[in-house]
Amino acid sequence: MPYRHPYQHIITPHTCLLAFFLIFAGNIKAEEQDSLTHWGFSVVANPGTILNMKQFDGKYVVPHKSNFSIGAELNYATLPADSDAFASDYDFPVFSVGLKYASNKKIKFLRDPEYDWRPEDVRNYTSYLGDTWMLYGAMKRKLYRSKKWMADITVSMGTAYSHDKYDKYKNADNEIVGSRWLIYFGAGLHATYRIAPQWGVGAGLEYWHVSNGALNRPNRGANILGPSLALTYYPYYETVYNNRNAKVNPPFNPYWYLNFTVGLGAKTLEEDWSYTQFDLPSEDPEYRTEDFKLYTAWSTEADIMYRYARRWASGVGIDLFHGSYASRIEEVDKINNHPDKHSPWSVGIAAKHEAFFHNLSMHVSLGAYLYREMGYRAKFIEKRYYETVGVRYMFPSLANLTLGFKVKAHYLKADYTELVLAMPIRLGKKQ
């Protein structure tokens, strides 16, 4: 029986993202006036190209890198009449729930015949990246608005389902996707031209990413970039434009606060993947395994933050990480005669930023390691810096206790996924 970690059925992409969607849905005020003026929709088409194929290290040939996606979004516009200070601060953003389908049939993987493969590693077939469904929540914030034109920036997060994934018998060269359920992240820049009072057509540039957050292997992840075309129905546009100078701006007093965070995460190892796929002999029962041990990771953070605006806070913090997997990495390195240092402890210093909309927030950070010793492969698959991105929700009735999830990454490649619990402590007297 393959090893199953006790947290494996709790910390998964779809449970993390289910929590996000519940928070997202609950954060849009249910008591808003019962008016269809808030609502609209978009239909979007997006040809794209998969990026970072150089990460295949010369072992593979990718003859076609293009895909095509189509999607629909249900949009909810915040309006000046809502008297919402957060909406006013963001210049009345639009929140969306979207469903996207990506056809990836052209993206195929072939083992380079010029590479020095072992006889047992030679494939006599072509692997492929499966089609993907994506369900997400998004926030669109305007960059420019006139009578006819609007430009916006959009950030989205959600979950995805891949029709095909790595299969050691018939899809063994698909190192992009190792799970059917995935985490989705997207960002875009758009310009929309108003062709009728309630209709607009737009074009833009879209980036989106899907991966399993290192909760399974393989996990190179797909990064897609390409242009987009959209048709938008927005009956609220006239109202927002005519009231563009209306602001809801109750007093806000900036303040400093401490933020203490603990996180419990999980990951599988790149070292286990490489060892079982390319180092073991074919007669070994673990050769090309699809079952990887899930290791525990935890973190603690101590930040000093300055909330200089109702919607934004920035600061700096010290991050402490512990990975139970360090001993396994040391074991694999000894097998491969790599005399590198290993420690389960890592320490970093990071710049932090948090964007708030009422009790919901998006938290990002960029850090540099002060100490990290994770063996041989870490020197190649990691960087000396790391990034995190996550979503949090604050419960005022629980002394502002904050619950959320985040993904830690190196150069946009997931290191692990974790659930986080944070406690902000305001400094000074509340004015």
Tens digits of per-residue pLDDT, 184-220? 999 999 999 999 999 999 999 999 999 999 999 998 8
What single-letter DSSP state applies at residue 171? Answer: B
The burial class, CB within 10 Å (0-12 / 13-18 / 19+), for 335 is: exposed
- Mean pLDDT, range 110-138, rounded to an integer: 86
Cβ-based neighbour number of residue 17 at 10 Å: 24
- Mean pLDDT, range 402-406, rounded to an integer: 96
Residue 345 tokens, joined:
């402890």
Residue 315 tokens, joined:
């600061």
SS3 86: helix
The burial class, CB within 10 Å (0-12 / 13-18 / 19+), for 31 is: exposed
pLDDT level of residue 28 (50, 70, 90 thresholds): very low
Least trusted range by pLDDT, from 100-104, 155-159, 235-239, 243-247: 243-247
Residue 424's alpha-carbon distances to 257, 313, 319, 389, 399, in angstroms, are: 6, 12, 16, 18, 9
Which of 329, 56, 54 minimizes the C-alpha distance to 175? 56
pLDDT level of residue 3 (50, 70, 90 thresholds): very low
> What integer pLDDT is reported at residue 31 of this predicted model?
41
Written as one letter, the residue type at 397 is S
Counted residue by residue, the chain has a size of 431
pLDDT level of residue 19 (50, 70, 90 thresholds): low
Q: 88 near 249, Cβ under 8 Å? A: yes
> What integer pLDDT is reported at residue 311 of this predicted model?
96
Continuous segment of H or E residues that includes residue 379: helix 378-381
Whether the per-residue pLDDT at 260 is higher than 80: the answer is: yes
> What integer pLDDT is reported at residue 1 of this predicted model?
42
What's the CA gap between 371 and 416, in Å, rounded? 18
What single-letter DSSP state applies at residue 366? Answer: E
Whether the per-residue pLDDT at 285 is higher than 60: the answer is: yes
| pTM for this prediction | 0.86
pLDDT level of residue 292 (50, 70, 90 thresholds): very high
What's the CA gap between 64 and 293, in Å, rounded? 33
Bridging pattern class, strands 312-323 and 127-128? unpaired
pLDDT level of residue 25 (50, 70, 90 thresholds): very low
Residue 238 tokens, joined:
């006239």
pLDDT level of residue 36 (50, 70, 90 thresholds): low
pLDDT level of residue 118 (50, 70, 90 thresholds): confident
- Mean pLDDT, range 393-411, rounded to an integer: 95
> What integer pLDDT is reported at residue 379 of this predicted model?
87
What single-letter DSSP state applies at residue 13? Answer: H
Of all residues in the chain, what percent carry a pLDDT higher than 70? 89
Whether the per-residue pLDDT at 61 is higher than 80: the answer is: no
pLDDT level of residue 57 (50, 70, 90 thresholds): low
Cβ-based neighbour number of residue 413 at 10 Å: 20
Least trusted range by pLDDT, from 52-66, 129-143, 334-348: 52-66
What is the average pLDDT score of the chain?
89
Q: 97 near 136, Cβ under 8 Å? A: yes
